[in-house]
Chain A
Amino acid sequence: MSFTRTTTLTAVATILGAGTAMADCGIESGRVAILSNDFPALHAMAEGAAECASDSVTVTANQTTEHRDIQVAALTANPAEYTSAVVANSSIVPLLNEGLIRPLDDLIAQYAPDLPMTNRITIDGQVMAVAFMANAQHLFVRDDVLAQVGMERPTTYEEVLEVLAAVREAGIMEHPFAMNTASGWNLGEEFVNMYLGHGGQLFEAGSAAPAINNEAGIATLEMLAALNEYANPDFLTFDSNATQALWESGELAVAYMWGSRGGGILDDENSTPEVTGNTALIGAPTVAGGDTPASTLWWDGFTIAANISDEDAAATFRALMHGLRPEVIEANNDAAVWLMPGFTPGAPAEGVVATATSGTRPYPMVPYVGLMHTALGNELAQFLQGEESAEQALADVEAAYIAAATEQGFLQ
C-alpha cells in the first residue's frame, strides 16, 4: 500500500512540478522524503508538500501504520532514507535517544519566524519537532439514547457506569459500551489514561523504577473491568477500526475513542443519520473524584533527520511548512484537531478541545515509557478475562517491565 502511495505522490509531484507550484515554495533544490503514519490529516500534509516538487526538488512519502518500526533504522543510514519522520509524543523518544533528528531552531528562525511557541517541541532548550495536530481519547455519546433513559451527558466514569446500567436496564442495548481494549498497545494506553486519571505516577520520581502496583493501580484495573462488563465479550480484540465500526453501526451508547476518529464517525459514510445526528463528542471523564480527566494528550509533529545535507533539511522544512499552510488546513479542517493557523474547531474537534482545556496531562515523554506500555499491554489481558487478581496482574506488569528495562540498561 505504501508503495502505491509513494508512486502516486511522485506522479502528483511530477505533474504539479511542471506548473506554477514551484514559485509558491521557493525551494531551489533538494530531496524531501517523508515517513509518517497513515491517516487522512497526514495525507493532506504530504500532498501539500508534494506541490513543492520540481525538476530539482523530489518529494516522496511513505505513509504506513508501521512507521514506528522502521524509523530508527531508516534515519540511522547516512544519508538517511527519509529526510523527515512524522512522530508523536512517544515515537520521538527513540529518535532523540539515538540522536537521529536535528535541532530546528535555525530553520525556524530563517523560514518560519512567526511559528508560535506552542508548536515548538522544545527539549532542553532546542526545538526538536514542529507539532501540528493534537489528539486525545475522550467520550463519544449518543444523545438520543441518553434522552431515552433520562440522563445527562456523563462527566465522570462513575456517571458513565450509571448511564450504562440504565441503558442495559431499559433493554435498549445489551453491550452499550466500548473502548480500545485490544490486547497490546491499545490496552496499555487505556491503563495509562485511567491511571493518570486516578492521579497515579507510572515511575518513581526521577528514576526508571516502576510504581504502578499500588491502590491507584488496583482502582484503575477495577474501573476498566467494571466498564468492560458493559462491552461486547470480544472486547480484548477491539482496536480503533473495530470500535469505530461498532459506533457507526449504532450498537453503542457511550464509547471512549480517539478524537481523530471524530471526522470519520460524523461524516455520512458507513452510518445512518440517526447515529451521526445524535453523536456528541465530549471531554474525557474524570474518575474517583479526581480533577484531571482520565486521558492523555498527544501531539503529532514533524522532525528533520540529522544525517542529511543542510540543503535537504531546508528543502524538507519548507516543503512541510508548505504542506501545513492555512489553505491546506482550511481544506482539511475536519480531518484533525490542527494546531496550525487556519483551523476552526468544528464538531469533530469538540472532544479533544474539551479534554485539552480541562487539565489533561500529556503522554509522558520519558525514554523507558515504551517498555512500560508494552508490559501493560501484554500482561493485563488475563485480569480482564477474570483469570487473575488485580494485584497479581500489576505485579506481573512490574516484573515484565523490570526484566525489559534491565536488558535495555535503564535499571541495574
Chain B
Amino acid sequence: MPHRTFIWFILPSLAAMILFIALPIVSVVVQSLYVEHEQVLVTVENCGPFGCTEETRVDRDATAELREAQPLGRFNGLGTYFNRAHLATAEIAEAWATSDSLGAFWDRVMNLPFYRALVFTLAYTFIVTPLVVILGLAIALGVNALPRIFRGVTIFFSLLPMIVTPLIGSLVLFWMIDAEGVIGATLQILFDDPDLSLKASPALTWITLFIYGVWSSAPFAFIVYYAGLQTVPEETLEAAMIDGASRWERIRYVVIPHLAPLTVFIMLIQFMDNFRVFEPIVGFQAQASATSLSYIIYSDLRGDVQQFGSAAATSVLTIIGVAILLTPVLIRTWRDFNRKRA
C-alpha cells in the first residue's frame, strides 16, 4: 500500500486514538505533577439542629485568589509519586534501615497501600493468566471433540461467564459464598468448621478472586482457541495418526504448536486485562483483604474529597506497569515480524 493511501486509511482511527487515548494520558501525567493549593483555613461558628460549634472551614475568597493565580494547583514535581500513598521511598528506606530480618522488612512494605495493591495485582495477573490459557484450551479441545449437534449448546453455556456482566457475576458468587449461601454453608459442613468463611480470611479471599478471574475469562480463551482449532490442517493430523501418534501426542506436537500465535495473543490481552483487575474487588467487597492498583485509583476519586493528583499518579504508575509487563511479549512479536519480513 502506498504511504499516502495508508495515511488516509488510518487517519480516522489515528485521530480518535489521539483524542480519546493519547490526550487524556497526557492530561493525567500533567495532573499527577500538581497538588492542591495550600488551603486557607478560618474558624467560624456553625449552627444546626444539634446546637452551635466552632469549626474550621476553608476561606473561599483567599483560596479562589490562589486558584486564579495558578489554575493547575501547586507544582509538586514527582513528589506525589514518592509519597507514602505511592512508591513510599522514604518509608521503604526507613523500614530497610530498622528491620532486623527480611521478613520484618517485608511486613513493613506490605503495610504500604501501593505495594499491598501491587502484590495482589501481580499475583492475580500471574496466577489467573496461565490458568485461563490452560482451561480455555482444555474446553476448546473438549468441545471440538463433541458430536456436531451438541456443540452449539455447549458453546453457548461455556460462553455464559463472559456474557454475564462482571459485576453481576461477582455479586452472584459473592452471595453464594456467604456463610449463609449455598457454597459457603456447604463448605462449612464439609470441613465441619462453623467459623470457616471465604470472605473473612485474606488467603481464602485471594483464592476466591483468582477462581472468579479464571471463571470469567476462560470463555474468552476458549472461543479464540476453538476458532483456531478449525484451522488445524487435517493432513498433518492424519500423517501423525499414520505415524502412530496418540491423541495426546497429536495435541502436543501438532495442535499446540499450530495454536502458538493465538496463545501469544490471549496472553497479551489477559495480561492487560488482569493487571487492571477491579470489578471483582468491588463485587466481592474484598477491599479489606485485597486491593488492586485500579481499586486504589477508584478509592482516591470517591467520597467527599476527591484526590485527583494521587489518583493520577497511581494511573501513570499502572500504565508503566502494563508497559513493563507487555515488553517481553511485544519484543517477541517484533522479532517474529522482522523474521517473516526478512
**A interface, CB within 8 angstroms of B:** 68-69, 72, 89-91, 93-94, 96-99, 117-125, 131, 134, 174, 182-185, 206, 208, 232-237, 239, 297, 299, 339, 356, 360-362, 364-368, 370-371, 373-374, 378-379, 381-382, 384-385, 387-388, 392, 396, 399-400, 402-404, 406-410, 412
Given A362-B53, A364-B55, A407-B83, answer yes or no on A123-B46 (Cβ-Cβ < 8 Å).
yes
Contact A409–B37 (Cβ < 8 Å): yes
Contact A367–B57 (Cβ < 8 Å): yes
**B53 neighbours in A (Cβ, 8 Å):** 362, 365
Contact of B49 among A94, A299, A368, A382 (CB under 8 A): A299
Q: How far is the CB of B271 from chain A (nearest CB, A)?
A: 27
**B83 neighbours in A (Cβ, 8 Å):** 403, 406-407
Q: How far is the CB of B76 from chain A (nearest CB, A)?
A: 8
Interface check B318, CB cutoff 8 A: no
Contact B57–A236 (Cβ < 8 Å): no
Please provide the 10 A-B residue pairs with the shortest distance between their CB atoms, ordered closest to farther.
A370-B304, A183-B288, A381-B288, A124-B44, A233-B200, A233-B197, A236-B288, A122-B47, A409-B36, A370-B305
Tell me which residues from 179 to 232 in chain B have a Cβ below 8 Å from any Cβ of chain A.
179, 194-195, 197, 199-202
14 further A-B contacts with Cβ under 8 Å, apart from A68-B303, A131-B49, A365-B57, are A117-B47, A119-B49, A121-B47, A208-B41, A233-B200, A235-B200, A239-B285, A299-B49, A356-B50, A366-B56, A373-B303, A379-B113, A382-B288, A388-B111
Interface string of B23-47 (1 = CB under 8 A from A): 0000000000001111101011111
Q: How many residues of B contact A (CB 8 A)?
A: 56
Contact B57–A96 (Cβ < 8 Å): yes
Interface string of B269-313 (1 = CB under 8 A from A): 000000000000000010111000000000101111111011000
Interface check B7, CB cutoff 8 A: no
Interface string of B308-340 (1 = CB under 8 A from A): 011000000000000000000000000000000
**A232 neighbours in B (Cβ, 8 Å):** 179, 197
Given A365-B46, A370-B305, A407-B307, answer yes or no on A183-B39 (Cβ-Cβ < 8 Å).
no
**B63 neighbours in A (Cβ, 8 Å):** 97
**A123 neighbours in B (Cβ, 8 Å):** 44-47, 57
**B interface, CB within 8 angstroms of A:** 35-39, 41, 43-53, 55-58, 60, 63-64, 74, 76, 80, 83-85, 91, 111, 113, 178-179, 194-195, 197, 199-202, 285, 287-289, 299, 301-307, 309-310
**A174 neighbours in B (Cβ, 8 Å):** 194
Contact B58–A406 (Cβ < 8 Å): no
**B113 neighbours in A (Cβ, 8 Å):** 378-379, 400
For this complex, 23 residue pairs linking A to B, each with C-beta atoms less than 8 Å apart, are: A89-B48, A94-B304, A96-B57, A97-B63, A118-B49, A122-B52, A123-B47, A124-B46, A234-B197, A234-B199, A236-B285, A373-B303, A374-B299, A381-B287, A385-B288, A388-B111, A400-B85, A403-B85, A407-B85, A408-B35, A409-B35, A409-B36, A410-B41
Provide the bound-state CA to CA distance between A361 and B103, in Å.
43
Contact A234–B35 (Cβ < 8 Å): no
**A362 neighbours in B (Cβ, 8 Å):** 48, 50-51, 53
Provide the bound-state CA to CA distance between A235 and B197, in Å.
10
Q: How far is the CB of B138 from chain A (nearest CB, A)?
A: 33
**B200 neighbours in A (Cβ, 8 Å):** 233-236, 385
Contact A378–B36 (Cβ < 8 Å): no
**A119 neighbours in B (Cβ, 8 Å):** 49
**B57 neighbours in A (Cβ, 8 Å):** 93, 96-97, 123-124, 365-367
Contact of A124 among B45, B80, B178 (CB under 8 A): B45
Provide the bound-state CA to CA distance between A121 and B289, in Å.
39
Contact B289–A385 (Cβ < 8 Å): yes
Provide the bound-state CA to CA distance between A138 and B83, in Å.
38
**A360 neighbours in B (Cβ, 8 Å):** 50
Given A94-B305, A120-B47, answer yes or no on A99-B60 (Cβ-Cβ < 8 Å).
yes
Residue among B194, B302, B305, B306 with max Cβ neighbours from chain A (10 Å): B305
**A118 neighbours in B (Cβ, 8 Å):** 48-49
Q: How far is the CB of B196 from chain A (nearest CB, A)?
A: 8
Contact B305–A121 (Cβ < 8 Å): no
**A122 neighbours in B (Cβ, 8 Å):** 45-48, 52
Contact A374–B303 (Cβ < 8 Å): yes
Provide the bound-state CA to CA distance between A121 and B48, in Å.
5
Provide the bound-state CA to CA distance between A182 and B287, in Å.
9
**B36 neighbours in A (Cβ, 8 Å):** 407-409
Contact A99–B64 (Cβ < 8 Å): yes
Q: How far is the CB of A70 from chain B (nearest CB, A)?
A: 11
Q: How far is the CB of B93 from chain A (nearest CB, A)?
A: 15
**B58 neighbours in A (Cβ, 8 Å):** 96-97, 367
Closest to B91 in A: A399
Contact of B305 among A339, A374, A403 (CB under 8 A): A374
Q: How far is the CB of A305 from chain B (nearest CB, A)?
A: 15
Q: How far is the CB of A398 from chain B (nearest CB, A)?
A: 10
Contact A408–B48 (Cβ < 8 Å): no
**A406 neighbours in B (Cβ, 8 Å):** 35, 83
**B202 neighbours in A (Cβ, 8 Å):** 385, 387
Provide the bound-state CA to CA distance between A120 and B45, in Å.
13
Contact of B304 among A90, A124, A236, A388 (CB under 8 A): A90
Contact of B50 among A297, A392, A402 (CB under 8 A): A297
**B91 neighbours in A (Cβ, 8 Å):** 399
Contact A131–B48 (Cβ < 8 Å): yes
Closest to A183 in B: B288
Contact A392–B306 (Cβ < 8 Å): no
Provide the bound-state CA to CA distance between A208 and B56, in Å.
9
Contact B39–A409 (Cβ < 8 Å): yes
Closest to A188 in B: B303
Closest to B74 in A: A409
Provide the bound-state CA to CA distance between A118 and B199, in Å.
44
Contact A407–B310 (Cβ < 8 Å): yes
**A396 neighbours in B (Cβ, 8 Å):** 111
